[in-house]
Amino acid sequence: MDRRKLYVSLLLAAAALLLISSVALAQAPSTSGGVAPHAQFYAGKLASSKKLSPLAMLWAMRVLAGLMLVGGIFTIGSRNPVVAALCLVGTLFCTGIIFLLLHATFIAAIQVLVYAGAIMVLFVFVVMSVGHPEREEIGLSRGIISKLIGGAFAVMLLLRVSPVYMSYQRTVNAAGEIISKAMPPVSSKYGNVEHVGKLLFSDYLFPFEAISILLLVAIVGAVMVTRHRRRDDNKGAAAAAASAGEG
């Protein structure tokens, strides 16, 4: 992939991101109670006229989805790990904005905070520790067969899934009226902190607790794999423990 083209598209993407995110921010519901359900978002019945029209929202959604796709492709396709990491940041940021458009403000903020912020910082840290892009090339393998299979699968997915997506799109006609009832109505408190919190500690209590086991095993496993102990240290286990404590 041509670097220049890549970076120009990145720049454009960044500009679009800034624009859209500020629109989305202005769109964010201001009170904790009166959040419009996303069924109404598709129906174009948002409470006040100053909000964007549903068609504009739909276009924002399309643009964001396109940006996410481009970002995703560059993330796996770029030979430069830095570009890959930054494209991933962009993709995750777009995801956050899509959440915002759907009035899931809390999830949006957490998405940006945790993924685009914290987790990507770790990615970036690893990239910086690993080395220089000219020497450390990553990216798609050149194998033509794997590309063909992957491409065929992608085309099949696109052909099979996109008609469904189109049918969802057709739920809003040019005048912005809702046509089908594909989107079920949701609670008026949809997506705010209180709503998410209540769900998390009632219906999703057990998964919420189970996640802690998952995190525990991830941490313990990572420690186990990365901590090195030389064989001759076996004689003095205390010495090994001491050095592990320091390191």
Partner 1 sequence: MLKTLSDLVPNVFLAMLLAAAAIMAFATVNALFLVWLERKVSARMQRRYGPTVVGPFGMFQTLVDVVKLLSKQLISPKDIDKPLYHLAPIVVFVPVVLGLSLFPIDKSFALVDTNVGLVLVFAFAGMGFIAIFMAGWGSNNKYALLGAMRAVAQNIAYEIPLILAALAVTMIARSMRIADIVEAQGSFPYILVQPIGALIYYISAVAETNRAPFDIPEAESELVAGFHTEYSGMRFALFFLAEYTNMVIVSMVATSLFLGGYKGPLLPGPVWFFGKVYFLIFVMLWLRWTFPRLRFDQLMTFAWKVLIPLALANLLVTATVLKVMS
Partner 2 sequence: MSSAFKMADFSFAAPIIFVALWACVVLLASAFSTKSSKLGPLTAFGFVIGLVITGYFWTALEQPRMSVFSGMLVLDRFSLFLDMIFLLAGLLTSLVAHGYVEEHGFAESEFYAVIALSVVGMMLMGHAGDFIIVVIGLETMSLGVYSLVASWTDKRKSTEAGLKYFVMGAVASGFLVYGIALLYGATGSTRLLVITSRAAAHIGDPLYIIGLFMVFGALAFKVALVPFHMWTPDAYEGAPTPITGFMAAAVKTAGFGLLVRAVSTIFSGESFAYGSTGWINIAWMLSMLTMTVGNVLALRQTNIKRMLAYSSIAHAGYIMLGVIAIPVLGLDPSAVLLYLLQYAVTTIGAFGVVAWVGRRDAENTGLEQWAGLGARKPAAALAMTIFMLSLGGIPPTAGFFAKLYLFKSAMGHPSLLILVVIAAINSVISIFYYLKPIVAMYFRDAGGEPIAEPMRSSSLSVAITLAAIIVFLLGMVPGSALEMAIKSTIGG
**105 near 191, Cβ under 8 Å?**
yes
Crossing angle for the helix pair 3-27 and 54-77, nearest 10 degrees?
140
Residue 48 or 202 having the CB closest to partner 1? 48
> Does residue 87 bind partner 1 (CB under 8 A)?
no
Residue 30 or 226 having the CB closest to partner 2? 226
What DSSP element (H or E) covers 220? Answer: helix 205-226
Place of tokens 């996303």: 38
The rounded distance, in Å, linking the Cα atoms of 208 and 197 is 11
The rounded distance, in Å, linking the Cα atoms of 6 and 77 is 11
> Does residue 118 bind partner 2 (CB under 8 A)?
no
> Does residue 89 bind partner 1 (CB under 8 A)?
yes
Q: Which span (8-16, 71-79, 131-139, 218-226) binds partner 2, by CB under 8 A?
A: 218-226
Among partner 1, partner 2, none, the one that 147 touches (CB under a kind-dependent 5 to 8 A) is none
CA atoms within 13 A on the CB side of 213: 5
Separation of first and last alpha carbons in the chain = 41
Among 23, 39, 140, 240, binds partner 1 (CB under 8 A): 23
Give the SS3 label for residue 53: coil
Place of tokens 């914290």: 118
The rounded distance, in Å, linking the Cα atoms of 41 and 55 is 10
> Does residue 49 bind partner 2 (CB under 8 A)?
no
Q: Which span (61-69, 104-112, 208-216, 223-231) binds partner 1, by CB under 8 A?
A: 104-112
Residues in touch with partner 2 (CB under 8 A): 157, 160-161, 163-164, 184, 199, 202-207, 210-211, 213-214, 216-218, 220-231, 234, 237-238, 241
Residues in touch with partner 1 (CB under 8 A): 3, 7, 10-11, 14, 18, 21-23, 25-32, 49-52, 82, 86, 89, 93, 96, 105-106, 108-110, 112-113, 116-118, 120-122, 124-125, 127-129, 133, 192-193
